[in-house]
Amino acid sequence: MADQRARGMDAGRLSSSTRACNNAENESMGEPAVETRSSTADDASRFDSSTVHHGRRHPEEVTHILRRVSQTGMAISTSSPRPLSPDNSTTSNLQPLEPPITKATLSELDVNKIVHNPKLRHDINYDPELHFRPNLDGEKGRKKQEKANQFYTLLTRELMSFVDNPEEFYRCHMNDMDWCLPRLLRAVKEILETLVPQRDKDLLEEGLNVELFMQQFYKGIADLEKLASWLSGILKLHCAPMRDDWVDEMYRELSRGNRDQDIPTLVRGMRSLLGVLEVMKLDVANHQIRCLRPVLIENTVDFEQRFFLKKIHTGRLNIDGARSWYQTAKANWEASRRVQEMRGLYAQAFGDAAVFFDAITKLILPSTPVEIPNSNACPNTFMFDEERIMRLRSDIYDTICLEICMRQFEEFERLEDVSSLDMHINFNAPQFSRPSSYADSDSESSTSGSSTRSSSARSSGYLGPSSISDAGSVRDGRRRARDLYNSLLALLQTAPSTSRASYRWKELASPIALQILRYVDAPHISLGVLEKALLRKLTDIQCDTFQEVETYFHQRLFQELTKRVVEFKNLPSVGLFSIATGRTVPGCLQMQIPRPQEGSNATNVAKREARDEGGIEDMATRLAHLGMLHWRVWAPIAYIPAEEASS
């Protein structure tokens, strides 16, 4: 367990939420910082504590491994060294390895790097719980773990070589401070210098003099017990209380390894030491983020404008594509019949940003061919928002596909009602090309809910009647609809994540088809035929069904976005952050915006709101937040007319 907790990982990349967009964006800031993710834990820190936390009293009779070496006749002598066997040869001819955790690998956690990291400062506007953590995920994390294991394996071999043949080891390393132990001690000292206040620097120099310790080490008189006790005290003085148990564990490992001549345990203690230093550095950085967040957020627009203008003026960023994207969106907006009918309302809600917000709602639609960042459909001005846009695109794709599945279920429900007419399913027909006399019963067939349902298994491609006896009743239809909807949500949540939402739904088509037939009485309907029809509707974004549902949700999203922009547009940056990232969005200004109609069935809108309302409102809030911040930064740089920008 101690070995796992002490895994030393150097600073990795900022992810999800905080991965740097490309090397050019951070070329003035060095390597990206460690990966971040949301967490509910609030690690209280006592960085300026004046209370010394002393280590517990330790037995004076503990014998040190290095003293035992000298006492057993292996002290350094001036006689000619005996040759080492191949198994006991030293590692002096091997390439020196850096410790896995050093001052350099943790440099991105320094406050100066934090305030000059544009990607981190941008992401802090969207994630209220953004914090640093060791980057142990993925291929990069695996390689870092391998590097750490290599270092500690080499350290173990070197210490064993010293114990086996100290004379030969001394001859090879007497003027060498580049093997693992001195490198590790120097790394410990350098990291501690960044953690302790200036007044304690002299104490640090006195307690951890690496050169003096190595001289004592070669002579067999190094007091490792004393060093471990001193480190325990200095770490407890400056770390958060929650880290004390880890510090105690580190001390026990160093002491036990030294006392029992157990080099693997000794090395585990050194590994724990670097692990404690890493989390202390992370604690300090996260504390600084919490303290600096209001200032960083309030200064976001000014900071990003200066950052991007510098890149534009030096030729490292070309925004001609962004200007072209906006002008195309403006032409489409002015030609829209919907805009002509509601120009006054949109002007009241969006002001000069109406064209922009209409464009970004289209940007997240699955039918918009976006391959970030190499696509004209998404300009490079969104370089810091790539992941947020892709998540919105994925979410609305899922919402559309869930609705398509529920509409397929409703088609079967209508067939049950008119089964006496011997009607047959046409999977290629529009979803609402049904006799008008059955529209009323359809309006009652589905709502959202949270119950579950089971039914008998089916053993062949053609499924027989369901065991439900009151399929024609409104109550039973509602129950089955919400049971099916919840079961589809469960399937979606357990599906493996993929780079494209269409791939995920391609894999889900078969279990979804089976699930739909479990909840509907559909005699003589082939599972294979239904699966094939669903596969086309869920993955072909150009098919009529997908386009119809996408248009419906686009209109719903734009309505909700209009309300959010009215609420957000006059807020300062900190106020925008507080409201947009809160658990609930306060009541928006009520505006008379007509809801879209689907064919001749107005009742379908009211019926489906229970299914999509929460998801659409959440997407509208996220998109309004992203859009408001983006517009404030880029409108005077890329989107307003050139003559206004120059003035």
Q: What is the pTM of this model?
A: 0.71
Task: Among 236-240, 275-279, 596-600, name the one with the lowest average pLDDT.
Answer: 596-600
How many Å apart are CA 411 and CA 442, to the nearest integer?
Answer: 9
Q: Which residues are 463's β-sheet partners?
A: 525
Q: In this structure, what token pair is assigned to residue 388?
A: 């947020």
Length of the chain: 647
Per-residue confidence band for 119, with pLDDT thresholds at 50, 70 and 90: very high
Q: Which residues are 36's β-sheet partners?
A: 132
How many Å apart are CA 553 and CA 290, to the nearest integer?
Answer: 37
The answer, yes or no, to whether residue 561 has pLDDT greater than 90, is: yes
Task: Report yes or no: 600 and 387 within 8 Å, Cβ to Cβ.
Answer: no
Q: What is the pLDDT of residue 426?
A: 52
Q: Specify the DSSP class assigned to residue 198.
A: G
Q: In this structure, what token pair is assigned to residue 351?
A: 């002001």
Q: Specify the DSSP class assigned to residue 585.
A: P
**What average pLDDT does this structure show over 153-167?**
91
- pLDDT tens, residue by residue, 349-376: 888 999 999 999 999 999 988 655 445 5
| Winning range, highest mean pLDDT, from 307-311, 501-505, 643-647 | 307-311
Identify the residue with better confidence: 443 or 535. 535
The answer, yes or no, to whether residue 54 has pLDDT greater than 50, is: no
Q: What is the pLDDT of residue 345?
A: 80
DSSP 164-184: H-HHHHHHHHTT---SHHHHH
- pLDDT tens, residue by residue, 612-646: 556 899 999 999 999 999 999 999 999 986 545 44
Q: What is the mean pLDDT of the chain?
A: 75
Q: Verify cis geometry, omega within 30 degrees of 0, for the bond prior to 81.
A: no
Per-residue confidence band for 158, with pLDDT thresholds at 50, 70 and 90: very high
**DSSP E strands: which ranges in 309-359?**
none
Cα-atom radius of gyration of the chain, to the nearest Å?
Answer: 33
Backbone angles phi, psi at 122, to 5 degrees: -70, -45
**What average pLDDT does this structure show over 29-34?**
39
**What average pLDDT does this structure show over 484-491?**
88
Q: What is the pLDDT of residue 44?
A: 36
C-alpha separations of 68 from 257, 282, 516 in Å: 13, 38, 75
**What average pLDDT does this structure show over 488-497?**
85
Q: Which residue, 296, 304, 295, is CA-closest to 634?
A: 304
How many Å apart are CA 419 and CA 32, to the nearest integer?
Answer: 64
| Helix, strand, coil content of the chain in percent (nearest 5) | 65, 0, 35
Q: In this structure, what token pair is assigned to residue 90?
A: 């030293």
- pLDDT tens, residue by residue, 242-300: 999 999 999 999 999 988 889 999 999 999 999 999 999 999 999 999 999 999 999 99
Per-residue confidence band for 527, with pLDDT thresholds at 50, 70 and 90: confident
Q: Give the residue extent of every domain in the chain.
A: 2-47+107-302, 392-546
Task: Among 58-72, 141-155, 512-526, name the one with the lowest average pLDDT.
Answer: 58-72
Per-residue confidence band for 235, with pLDDT thresholds at 50, 70 and 90: very high
**Is residue 74 classed exposed, middle or buried when 0-12, 13-18 and 19+ CB atoms within 10 A define those classes?**
middle
pLDDT over 70, % of the chain:
68
Q: What is the pLDDT of residue 611?
A: 61
Q: Which residue, 367, 394, 406, 395, is CA-closest to 551?
A: 367
**In 10 A of CB 281, how many CB atoms?**
23
How many Å apart are CA 117 and CA 263, to the nearest integer?
Answer: 42
Q: What is the pLDDT of residue 641?
A: 65
The answer, yes or no, to whether residue 327 has pLDDT greater than 80, is: yes
Task: Report yes or no: 611 and 618 within 8 Å, Cβ to Cβ.
Answer: no
**What average pLDDT does this structure show over 221-241?**
91
Backbone angles phi, psi at 619, to 5 degrees: -65, -40
Q: What is the pLDDT of residue 74?
A: 34
**What average pLDDT does this structure show over 396-422?**
79
Q: Specify the DSSP class assigned to residue 637.
A: I
The answer, yes or no, to whether residue 100 has pLDDT greater than 70, is: yes
The answer, yes or no, to whether residue 25 has pLDDT greater than 60, is: no
- pLDDT tens, residue by residue, 189-221: 999 999 998 888 888 888 899 999 998 888 888
Q: Which residue, 98, 105, 106, is CA-closest to 154?
A: 98
The answer, yes or no, to whether residue 86 has pLDDT greater than 70, is: no
DSSP 253-301: HHHHHHHTT-HHHHHHHHHHHHHHHHHHHHHHHHHHHHHHHHHHHHTHH
Q: What is the pLDDT of residue 473?
A: 58
Task: Among 210-214, 389-393, 535-539, 593-597, name the one with the lowest average pLDDT.
Answer: 593-597
How many Å apart are CA 103 and CA 611, to the nearest integer?
Answer: 52
Q: Which residues in 441-461 are b (16+ Cβ under 10 Å) and which e?
A: bbebbbbbeeeeeeeeeeeee
Three-class SS string for 31-60?
Answer: CCCCCECCCCCCCCCCCCCCCCCCCCCCCC
Helix (H) or strand (E) holding 251: helix 244-259
| DSSP reduced 3-state for 505 | helix
- pLDDT tens, residue by residue, 428-472: 544 443 333 333 333 333 333 433 333 333 333 444 444 444 444
How many Å apart are CA 626 and CA 388, to the nearest integer?
Answer: 8
| Winning range, highest mean pLDDT, from 71-75, 321-325, 342-346 | 321-325
The answer, yes or no, to whether residue 82 has pLDDT greater than 50, is: no
